[in-house]
Amino acid sequence: MNEENLIEKIKQLSKKYSSTGQDLSSYLDGLLYADYVGYWNYIHLDTLLSLQNPKTDFPDEQIFIIYHQISELFFKLCLLEIEHINKNGRNVIDTGEDLGWNKKLTIDIFIQKMDRINRYLNNLINSFEIMTKGMEKKQFLKFRMALLPSSGFQSVQFRMIELRSTNLAQLYPEKIQATSKSLKTMYNNLYWKHGAIDLKTKKKTYTLKQFERKYDERLMKLANKMKEKNIWAKYNALNPRDKKNKTLIKLLKEYDVNINVNWKLAHYKSAVKYLKNKNNSTAATGGTNWESFLPPKFQKIIFFPDLWTKKEQENWGKSWVKSILK
Ligand code: HEM
């Protein structure tokens, strides 16, 4: 770097630090003594590899834990893009440069974000065989008893994806009409709240109660915040020309099917593989009546209803369910 460029860089740095009342020369002192960053430190490799703590000695339990962690990281990747759509972009540090995150939600950015989200979800859907084919059933049926009453049902990121994607009324069970205006009533009637009810006692499962204690307040706040910011609301607020954009519509439909049909079916397949026998079904760790709760054709959750015909909505998830249960 020549001297002129160097001076220019120092001026830019000085501007950055003085804009927050800080002193550049102190930071330069720090730089003088700071060590170089190693890859292992940058990505916290040791910490990452220390996060798998099986409860049993069955080797396949590690696969189960790692794939859940991978799924949560992919959910996080999805959420980063979804949040960008929800927030219309946000300026984090004022460097005066265009770093890509403070842009308005133009149609091009909307398309770019949806494209990324679908890529992440396609990876998750295609890799679910790690669960369905990659563990010994005998081992699974034993080590699962050590994780009671926890269940992937308690994935808060999955619920955040839903709340950031559409209106609460779209997350209702098919047979219940979303008539209430109260946020609390709406939230308490979401499909998964009805799904985690013990059929015999008609009471909430402990897995649901545990989840509610930890996350209800946070999720209800999010639901309130997302009223006009969720993906469906953002799409509806586009100008009439952009709303007709074929690429965006195709990506939104792909997303709807990816989350609400394809991922759910890939996941359901693993429940069928491990929990279903010829004559009976094994109770799930979360205690739901999973055979009537998990299939997308029963849940019928559709984020963006107006993008589908009546017939498509009626047949939501049906053909896929048949092919899995054959
Ligand atoms: C062998 C692998 C798996 C089996 C047998 C399985 C089984 C189940 C069952 C039976 C349920 C219903 C709730 C309950 O009663 O527990 C459920 C829900 C759920 N699981 Fe899994 N699961 C597996 C892997 C995963 C993975 C890798 C994830 C990723 C994070 C995950 C996330 C979820 C989510 C988000 C729900 C709620 C789904 C909804 O509300 O429609 N599961 N799982």
Is 44 contained in some domain?
no
Q: What is the pLDDT of residues 27-60, one digit of tens each?
A: 999 999 999 999 999 999 999 999 999 999 999 9
Q: Residue 287 is part of a domain; what is its CATH number?
A: 1.20.58
| Residue 79: inside a domain | yes
Residue whose pair of structure tokens reads 């009976």 in the numeric block: 280
> Mean pLDDT in the chain?
91
pLDDT at 286: 76
pLDDT tens for each residue of 188-211: 999 999 999 876 788 999 999 999
Give tens-digit pLDDT for 240-265. 999 999 999 999 999 999 999 999 99
**CB of 271 shorter than 6 A to ligand 1:** yes
Does the beta carbon of 290 lie inside 6 Å of ligand 1? yes
Residue 22 inside a domain? The answer is no
Q: Taking the CB of residue 174, how many other CB atoms lie within 10 A of it?
A: 13
Total number of domains constituting the chain: 1
User: How close is the Cα of 287 to the center of ligand 1, in Å?
Assistant: 11
pLDDT computed for residue 150 by the predictor? 94
CA distance 214 to 210: 7
pLDDT in tens, 110-161: 999 999 999 999 999 999 999 999 999 999 999 999 999 999 999 999 999 9
Domain that holds residue 301: 60-90+100-325
Residue 182: both structure tokens together: 């109260």
10 falls within a domain:
no
Ligand 1 pocket, residue 245 CB under 6 Å: no
Residue of 150, 170, 267 to test ligand 1 pocket, by largest number of atoms within 8 Å of CB: 267
Residue 2, in any domain of the structure: no
Q: With a cut of 50, say whether residue 275 has pLDDT above it.
A: yes
Q: Is residue 276 part of a domain?
A: yes
Residue 252 amino acid letter: L
The mean per-residue pLDDT over the stretch 153-178 comes to: 92
Burial 109-122 (b: 16+ CB within 10 A, else e): bbbebbebbbebbe
Of 114, 109, 58, which Cα lies nearest the Cα of 88? 109
The finding on whether 74 has its CB within 6 A of some atom of ligand 1 is no
In a domain, 128, yes or no: yes
Q: Is residue 303 part of a domain?
A: yes
316 lines ligand 1 (CB under 6 A): no
